[in-house]
Amino acid sequence: MRRHILQVVLPLLITQAACQTFDPTQLPPVGTFYAPPCPGGRCLPGPYPTMDKVPDGVPLWTNSVNLTAVPTWPPRPSSMEFGILCNPGDSMNASLGASGMCDYTCGNKCWRDEVTMCPGQGQWGVTYDDGPSDYTPALLDHLLAINTKVTFFVIGSRIMERPDVLHRAYAEGHQICLHTWSHASNTALTNEQIIAETYWTARAVYQVIGVVPTCMRWPYGDSDDRTRFVLRALGLKVVTWNHDTVDWSITDPAVEAQTVTGNFTNWINAAGPAGGNSKTGFISLEHDLFNASASAAPLALTLLQKANYTIKRVGDCNNWPSLYIDTSKPINTGLNPALIGAPVANATSSTAKPTGTATGTAVIRPSAIANVTGASSNGSGCSKIGVELVGLVVLSVTVLINALI
């Protein structure tokens, strides 16, 4: 009887908590997440946008960014959010494309000031996109066994599913960078949406591990001068690559392994042992979202080690003074930690609250959660995004359940 009552009351309490007014400067304590599997795949307490959909702009976040230098070139149609279609002749100009913008997708893979390599000879920045996933732990096991640190570009929607994996990756010394909330094509998004994608992902990262990354990567590499200047205004370093395994396109693990090892073998042969034939190092692109690509990753690492390359985190090989934003200093523009709930000394936002540490993880048993769906900015759930009372309500009721069972 007690169980039945709690199963009925708990969803109502969660819904009520999630339907309050959204305050974008507030967060639950750092390190608070559910142990998967979780209802609806949402293991991060608090209201977040609908997973895998482009979130609406948040005025406070948009207004905090100085967009005066951003070109007024319009975004592509919203129908291209998850697939850009280029017109005939778009890449007539090998550098810029027909628009005159430095357009990666439709302008012959044009980039400007993105970080594309490790400057040092013999250095290799190994990077993985699109996680964290169910297949990332096996990769982390291998990296731990060979004492190697890499860089992970994480998607906000995937953090919702496996915050525990993100927590482990950071704790084991890997660099964490942003890879947007929904993995949409940036050139089909408005400035407001790009900022929201960035802030929501940074918010999820901060809630799990207590840091705000200084780096991000475009999904698909899709970018132009407009999107490039938005990210520049946010103060983020954009990291791309000069070696793409194209591992995302293969689903057969056997074929995947052959393709990835074949690519790395060709690159190593061209650059020579320890990169002796190349004046600079490299950054390679792989993915840890699917089994086939994640399973092939250890094979590539073995090839690099045998060829005497020095595997480094991207921030290390580029000599960044810090991999994460210093939240002890006030920031009045760009990606402001105070606006995602991080405590900033003397920050203009008086509502920022101190948080715990990434090691103080409050994990709640998902079996005690009847239906944690979170709030949505896209119309599913509440009309407004709620304050982060959901985690507190669930934690309190979980304690009650444990006392009654």
Which one is predicted more confidently, 133 or 87?
133
**pLDDT score for 156:** 99
Nearest in space to 184 (alpha carbons), one of 101, 87, 105, 283: 105
For domain 99-317, the CATH architecture is Alpha-Beta Barrel (3.20)
Domain(s) of CATH 3.20.20.370: residues in the chain = 99-317
Q: From CA 21, how far away is CA 182, in angstroms rounded?
A: 23
Residue 162: is its pLDDT beyond 90?
A: yes
Asked if 104 and 221 count as a contact pair (C-beta separation under 8 A), the reply is yes
Place of tokens 């103060």: 235
Asked if 126 and 281 count as a contact pair (C-beta separation under 8 A), the reply is no
Q: From CA 348, how far away is CA 303, in angstroms rounded?
A: 50
Nearest in space to 137 (alpha carbons), one of 339, 252, 294: 294
Q: Per residue in 78-99, pLDDT tens?
A: 999 999 998 776 665 545 555 5
Q: Per residue in 166-200, pLDDT tens?
A: 999 999 999 999 999 999 999 999 999 999 999 99
**pLDDT score for 27:** 73
Percent of the chain whose pLDDT exceeds 90: 61
- The angle that helices 191-209 and 225-233 make with each other, rounded to 10 degrees, is 40
Paired sense of beta strands 282-287 and 243-244, if any: parallel
Q: Per residue in 1-30, pLDDT tens?
A: 444 444 433 333 333 333 335 677 777 788
pTM: 0.83
Q: Per residue in 59-75, pLDDT tens?
A: 999 999 999 999 998 99
- 251, with CB counted inside 10 A (0-12, 13-18, 19+), is exposed
Checking phi first, is residue 378 left (phi over 0); if not, alpha (psi -120 to 50) or beta?
Answer: alpha
